[in-house]
Structure 1
C-alpha cells in the first residue's frame, strides 16, 4: 500500500534541497534530523555471501518499505510490509525510476519456506527482507526508508489533498467498509474528486476482488495501480506549491514517521544528484511483469491466494525472467521508448 508515500517524500525533500541547500544547509539538516535512524539494520551490514547481486556506481537503489504497523491493531514494530518499492536514481541515463514489488508474489526466503514477499520482514526484519530481494532478483540496494501509515495521511493533508477518479465499485466499497478509518469521511462519490489523507489511504489499500479501477484492474493489480495514481497526484500538487512551503511540509511528515539507515550526509548527496538531473518524470515498473506470472492454484501454498512468477512459457514457479526484466529496467533502460521485456511492453 505504500508506494505512493515515498515518491512524495523524495519530491518534497529534493525540492527542499534544491531551494535551500545553497542558502540554508543548517535548516535542511535540522529537517532531516526528524527522521528516525536505525543503523543496526543498515543494508550494508547484511550478509549476501553466496548471492549474486548487480550494482552500478552511477545508479542508486533505495528500498522503500511501507509497514502495515498501526498501534490500534497491536502490531509489533516488524509487521507485514504492505508495499515494497525500489526507488532508483539513474545518473547514467538521467532518470528517476520506481519499481513496485507486489506483496503477494511467492519468493524464496532464506531459512524459511517459500512465502509471500510481504512476510520476510515479520520473520527477520529489514535485513531478511533485503536478503530475500537480493536472492530472488539479484539487486544490490544502497539503503532503505521505512514509512508508517500516519505519514501517508499527513503528506496528503499537507499538500491540501489529492484528486482521484473513483469507479462505482470503489466508491461503494469505501463508503461501506472501514477502509476509510474515520466514519465521517465515508462519503466519497463516483468520478473525479479531491481526497483527504484518510480517504486516500483507504483508496490505496483496496485490493478486494470485484472492485475495479477506472482502467479495469482488480485485486492487488488494482491496488498497485491506485498507488501509482496517488503518487502522480501528490507529485502534481507538490509542484504547484511555493518552495518555501516544502521544508514546513517535510518537518511535519518526517517527524517520527520515517526510519532509515541513511545519514543526513548521504541523503543530501543523493538529493543533490536528483536536483542536478533536472527531471521530474518518473518511469515505473511493476514486478512481476506482464506475461510472467500466474495466480496460485487453490491450496498450492499455505499462505493462501498468491502470485506465482514464471518464465512466461512454463507455469512452473521461476523468478529468473522477472529478475532479468527488473535488472534491465534499472540498469539498462534509457527511457527513450516504453520499456519492453519479451513481447510485453510496460505502459
Structure 2
C-alpha cells in the first residue's frame, strides 16, 4: 500500500517537474526572442561616436564600472527640425549598482557655469556651442562627474515615446492650463496637425503632444524650478508605464521610439543596462534637482538672467545624492 502511494507521489512529482521545465522553456524562449528583437532593432537608434577619453570629456573622478554609471540625458528645445539645439532639459541618469537604485538628477538650464572655450554662461548653451561632447564636458568639469555617454530626445521623439506606452496620467493645476494649451498649439503648428487641448484641471490622461507641452511650460508657478519638477514627473511616469507594459507590446514600442533617439551608447551597453534594471526589480526612480534653493539665486549679468550658484557646494550635494556618501540632500 505504502509502495503504491510512493509510486503515485513519484509520478506526480515527475509530472510537475516536466510541467515546470516546459513553462521554463517557454518563458526562456519568449525572453530570448524579445532580446533578439530588441537587439536587431537597436540598429534603428541614431548612434553617434564621441570622444571617450578623460581629457576631452573633462573627467577627473574615476568610478568603478560595477558601482556607478552616469549617463547625460538631454531634451531639445528646437521648434523646427532644422533649428540649432539648446538642451531644454538636462538630467543625469545614474545606475547605482551599490545600492541597486536608479536616480535622476535635474540640472537647471539657466545655471551659471564655465563652458570650455566659451567662458561663464548658461549651462544649456553648451549643447548649442559644441553638441553632446561639450555638454557632457560641461557637466563633468563643473560638478566633478564621470559621464561618458548621453542620450538625446527632441520634441518629436518625446511625443512618440509617450504615445508608445499609451499616454501618461498627470495632475494638472488650474494655473497651468493656459500655458499648456499655448504649447500644445505651438507643437501642433510645427506638425501641421489639429491641437488636442486640455479642458479641465485635475487628473488628465495626456497623449504625447500634451505631455511635451506639460514638460515645456515655465511661465507659471515657480518658473524653471517647477518645469524641472514636471519633467521628472513625466520621466517617472514613463518609467512606471514601461515596467507595466505587457512584454508582447515591446516590439511595437521599440519600432515607435528607437528611430527618434540619439545616443552614444552601444547596443551591448544598452542591453546590459536594461537587463540590470529588469533583473534587479528596480521599481522607482529617486529624483533630485540642482542647484538647490539654499545655494542659488537669480541674477542679471550684462542684462541676461542667470541662476548663480555656489558650484563647489552644488557639486558636493550632487555627489551626496548620486553616491550616497553622506546624508541624503533635501530635494525640491
Contact 1:91/1:277 (<8 A) preserved: no
The one-character-per-residue Cα deviations of 1:98-128 (angstroms, maximum 9, x if unpaired) are 1111111110111112110100111111111
Distance change (3 Å), C-alpha of 1:178 and 1:164: closer
Distance in 2, matches of 1:179 and 1:104, equals 25
| Alignment check: 8 A CA contact 2:100 2:280 kept | yes
CA drift at 1:54: 4.2
Deviations 1:78-99 (A, max 9, x none): x211111111111111111111
1:321 pairs, out of 292, 313, 324, with 313
More helix as a share of residues: 2
State the alpha-carbon separation in 2 of the partners of residues 194 and 126 from structure 1: 33
**1:158-199 superposed Cα distances (whole Å, 9 cap, x missing partner):** 222211111221112233565553253124321111111111
Q: Which of 190, 193, 204 is 1:193 aligned to?
A: 204
Contact 1:180–1:199 (8 Å) recurs in 2 = no
Q: Which residue does 2:181 correspond to in 1?
A: 175
Change (3 A) 1:278 1:174: closer
Q: TM-score, normalised by structure 2?
A: 0.82
Paired with 1:115 and 1:200, the residues of 2 have a C-alpha distance of 29
TM-superposition CA deviations, 1:200-240 (whole Å, max 9, x none)? 111110011xx12xxxxx20011111112222332333344
Q: Determine the C-alpha separation between the residues in 2 that align with 1:130 and 1:231.
A: 20
Question: Aligned to 2:252, what secondary structure does the other structure show?
Answer: helix
Counterpart mapping for 1:1-347 below 5 A: 21-39=31-49, 41-42=50-51, 44-45=52-53, 47-48=55-56, 52-57=60-65, 58-71=67-80, 74-76=82-84, 79-176=85-182, 181-182=187-188, 184-208=195-219, 211-212=220-221, 218-255=222-259, 257-296=260-299, 298=300, 300-302=301-303, 304-310=304-310, 319-332=311-324, 339-340=328-329, 345-346=330-331
Q: Number of residue pairs matched?
A: 299
- Asked whether the 8 Å contact 1:180–1:186 carries over to 2, the reply is no
Higher relative contact order (CA 8 A, sep 6+): 1
Q: Structure 1 90/49 Cα, relative in aligned 2: closer, same or farther at 3 Å?
A: closer
Runs of 5+ unmatched residues, structure 2: 1-27, 189-193
How far the C-alpha of 1:248 sits from its partner, in A, is: 1.5
Classify the secondary structure of the residue corresponding to 1:185: coil
- Would the alpha carbon gap of residues 53 and 147 (structure 1) be closer, same or farther in structure 2, given more than 3 Å must change? same
Unaligned ranges ≥5, structure 1: 1-17, 213-217, 311-318
1:255-308: per-residue Cα shift (whole Å, max 9, x none)? Answer: 1x1111111112112222222322121111111023111111x3x245x22211
TM-score with structure 1 setting the length: 0.79
**Partners of 1:55 and 1:139 within 8 A in 2:** no
Structure possessing the higher radius of gyration over alpha carbons: 2
